[in-house]
Structure 1
Amino acid sequence: MNGRRLWAIVLKELRQMGRDRVTLAMIIGIPVMQLVLFGYAINLNLRGLDAAIVDESGTRASRELVMDMLATGVIEPVARADTPAELVDMLRRGEISVGVAVPRDFERRRIEGRELVQVMVDGSDTVVQSAAVQLAQMPIASPTAGAAAAPGRVAPIGVVAFYNPERRSAVNIVPGLIGVILTMTMVLFTGVAIVRERERGNMELLIATPISRAELMIGKVLPYAVIGLVQTSVVLLLGVWLFKVPVLGSVLDVYVASILLILANLTLGLLISTRARSQFQAMQMTFFVFLPSILLSGFMFPFAGMPRPVQWLAEVLPLTHFLRLIRGVMLRGASLWELWPDVLALLAFTAVMMTLAIQRFRKRLD
């Protein structure tokens, strides 16, 4: 063992890592990213759940109870409804996570000690369902059978969980797994596509052909789109067969939502491929995309618990919009037409990424 030769190799590796900007970014960027995401963005104590309130009683006591519920900070009214049926429709469309319905006979129920308010929860997200249960444990002072109850008495508030009353985690996880698997594989496959052509020497042949940049990029995407649909079918069939995950909406809508995510991820992978200099760099850059996607999209941690700036960042990620689509279609029975904002977001993302990838690609070896 020669110390000088050993030091020469160590020095050579350090200099090479310094010249590799992607590797240097990962050395510093990954710890910083994980620290910021887990320390600042991830919050399991949910507050400010999107809600709508229907107060059919309109009495002073009912308004006070609603104000007490809002004071907990668990829910935040973001929409308006006139009937409980409208609350159910808004839950199905994903416009709200919690609906609060105060019945007309609120005062009679209050005197008799019966259930005062019904809280409707989107049970497709088990974390949101658990947070909404806190409303049922809110202490109030209400008269019972003509006598005043002691302060701190728990309000008889009923919680109804739609779409997953059994609170099975598989019902929430399996639809999201479709998006996670497609994000990981599709970005990676196309992320190394152009780089692989250069490393194998096939770029010279492509340069000599009359094929345009757009034709090359689209031709790279289409085969992987078929692979993505096969992966979707495998996860969907196993989820229904092994875990009894329901498909309340149209199966066609499930596949349309999947192809939207597939195209979005493939075009993102192509953009990465035009920037990376080697397959290893492409895989490194793919990891930078995959880590925020799985943490900020709402798959592992509740979206409602994140700070507003982080939520704005998460809106850029295709997986965030796909999770809303796939859970809305499979678990709530909604149609893609009712979830059109997320459909447009995925289409816009695909168009922007494909345009950037075509502009960045040059049919040259340098």
Structure 2
Amino acid sequence: MSLRRLFSIVLKELRQLRRDRLTFAMIVGIPTMQLLLFGFAINLDIRHLDAAVLDQANTARSRELVAELAASQVITLRYQLSAPQQLDDLMREGRAGVGIVIPADFDNRLERGDRPPLQLVVDGSDQVVQQAARQLAAYPLARLRDPAAAVPAGVEIVNFYNPERRAPVNTVPGLVGVILTMTMVMFTAMALVRERERGNLEMLIATPVSPWELTVGKVLPFTLIGLVQVSLVLVLGQLIFAVPIRGSLLEIYAAALLFILASLSLGVFLSTLARSQFQAMQLAFFTFLPQILLSGFMFPYAGMPRAAQWLAEILPMTHFLRLIRGIALRGANLADLWQEMAALAAFSVVVLGIAVTRVSKRLD
């Protein structure tokens, strides 16, 4: 082995890497992004879950209890309610994850200790909320009672939408978003880059095809693939894990279709940045990692810093997880979750518009 020839090969590869700016940026960008996400954005402590309070007792001790629970920072009191139906509506629409229900005879229950003086109603479609409920249930209610009382006061936890607390009920709907994000973005980006590498796009541009027609025509076949994947996950989820579908199946497919279009738009945009299929795969992974970490699928969204939450609101998977869990598990409809649909539609229009503009510039 000649060290001189070996050094020449190494030098050649380093020069090639220097010319390949995108790969060089990924070498620096991926570890930097992972460090920032895991160091700052990913927080396993559950904080600031949106909560509603139905205080039917409205006594000094019930108000003290509510203040103490709010001071724990596990929850943020957003709503003061006057009727149980209001709590049902907030939970179904996903605007509140925890409901604190204090009965009218709170003081009597607290003193006698024969019945739970406090009821925590939690959104069982989100496993993070279930963990928060256990933290709140550990609150020492006995401190509000007579110190001489011998019977401890407990907390009743009512788990909406997942009374058995089965993990697949939470994870399987979320896996629809994970699988679509991974496959749609990568497949689209790599397929379009492959067409450019083979010279097929240059042949198509010679025909009377506009950039919009070219881009949309390339994207539409993958839409059918995405819908097939949605159907497969939903069917297997019911057959194997007995995951319920409480909402409209048609609305689930409508939300999935919009999310597929958003993911395909992102894939088309990445294809305009990549010069090779390997770069397209790198970029797809670069966008996949923040979505799975910040969307609330793996880590509690409420525990993230405000800046990380702002970034999560830009990512389409964040909104789709709220949609699929809301419709499939809570029985919500698209009217209840119209903000999430609007966010996905806006993302699709903006990103696809930028991608079409870049396709036009690259092929003119």
| Match of residue 192 from structure 1 | 190
Question: Residues 152 and 218 from structure 1, CA distance in 2 versus in 1: closer, same or farther, beyond 3 angstroms?
Answer: farther
Name the amino acid aligned to 1:159.
I
| Match of residue 171 from structure 1 | 169
What are the Cα deviations for residues 88-147 of structure 1, in whole angstroms up to 9, with x where unaligned?
A: 221111001101111112222223223111110001112220121122211134677xxx
For structure 2, the residue ranges without an aligned partner over 5 or more in a row are none
| Match of residue 29 from structure 1 | 29
Query: Is this contact kept in 2: 1:179–1:319, CA < 8 A?
Result: yes
2:46 is paired with a residue whose SS is coil
Q: In the aligned structure 1, how far is the partner of 2:261 from the partner of 2:242?
A: 28
Q: In the aligned structure 1, how far is the partner of 2:27 from the partner of 2:361?
A: 32
| Match of residue 7 from structure 2 | 7
| 1:203 corresponds to which of 198, 201, 209 | 201
Q: In the aligned structure 2, how far is the partner of 1:222 from the partner of 1:33?
A: 32
| 1:335 corresponds to which of 333, 336, 348 | 333
1:90 is paired with a residue whose SS is helix
| Match of residue 297 from structure 1 | 295
Q: In the aligned structure 2, how far is the partner of 1:61 from the partner of 1:54?
A: 14
Q: In the aligned structure 2, how far is the partner of 1:318 from the partner of 1:81?
A: 32
Question: Residues 151 and 360 from structure 1, CA distance in 2 versus in 1: closer, same or farther, beyond 3 angstroms?
Answer: farther
- Deviation of 1:183 after TM superposition, in Å, equals 0.5
- Deviation of 1:193 after TM superposition, in Å, equals 3.2
Query: Is this contact kept in 1: 2:55–2:81, CA < 8 A?
Result: no
| Match of residue 86 from structure 2 | 86
Name the amino acid aligned to 2:228.
V
2:314 is paired with a residue whose SS is coil
- Deviation of 1:151 after TM superposition, in Å, equals 9.3
| Match of residue 213 from structure 2 | 215
- Deviation of 1:19 after TM superposition, in Å, equals 1.4
What are the Cα deviations for residues 6-42 of structure 1, in whole angstroms up to 9, with x where unaligned?
A: 1000001011111111211121111111111111111
- RMSD, aligned α-carbons: 1.7
| Match of residue 131 from structure 2 | 130
| Match of residue 107 from structure 1 | 107
What are the Cα deviations for residues 43-74 of structure 1, in whole angstroms up to 9, with x where unaligned?
A: 11101111011111111111111111111111
Q: In the aligned structure 1, how far is the partner of 2:155 from the partner of 2:305?
A: 29
Moved more, 64-73 or 210-219: 64-73
Alignment of 1:1-366 (within 5 A): 1-113=1-113, 114-141=115-142, 148-150=146-148, 155-362=153-360
Q: In the aligned structure 2, how far is the partner of 1:321 from the partner of 1:216?
A: 28
Q: In the aligned structure 2, how far is the partner of 1:299 from the partner of 1:151?
A: 43
Q: In the aligned structure 1, how far is the partner of 2:297 from the partner of 2:34?
A: 16
Question: Residues 364 and 48 from structure 1, CA distance in 2 versus in 1: closer, same or farther, beyond 3 angstroms?
Answer: closer
TM-score normalised to structure 2 length: 0.96
Percentage of pairs with the same residue:
59
Name the amino acid aligned to 1:105.
D
Q: In the aligned structure 1, how far is the partner of 2:149 from the partner of 2:77?
A: 27
Structure 1 stretches of 4+ with a deviation exceeding 3 A read: 140-144, 150-155, 363-366
Aligned residues between the structures: 363
- Deviation of 1:280 after TM superposition, in Å, equals 1.3
1:53 is paired with a residue whose SS is strand
Name the amino acid aligned to 1:136.
A
- Deviation of 1:361 after TM superposition, in Å, equals 1.1
Name the amino acid aligned to 1:255.
Y
What are the Cα deviations for residues 305-340 of structure 1, in whole angstroms up to 9, with x where unaligned?
A: 111110110000000000000000111111111011
- Deviation of 1:149 after TM superposition, in Å, equals 2.5
Query: Is this contact kept in 2: 1:115–1:156, CA < 8 A?
Result: yes
What are the Cα deviations for residues 144-171 of structure 1, in whole angstroms up to 9, with x where unaligned?
A: 7xxx235998642211111112111111
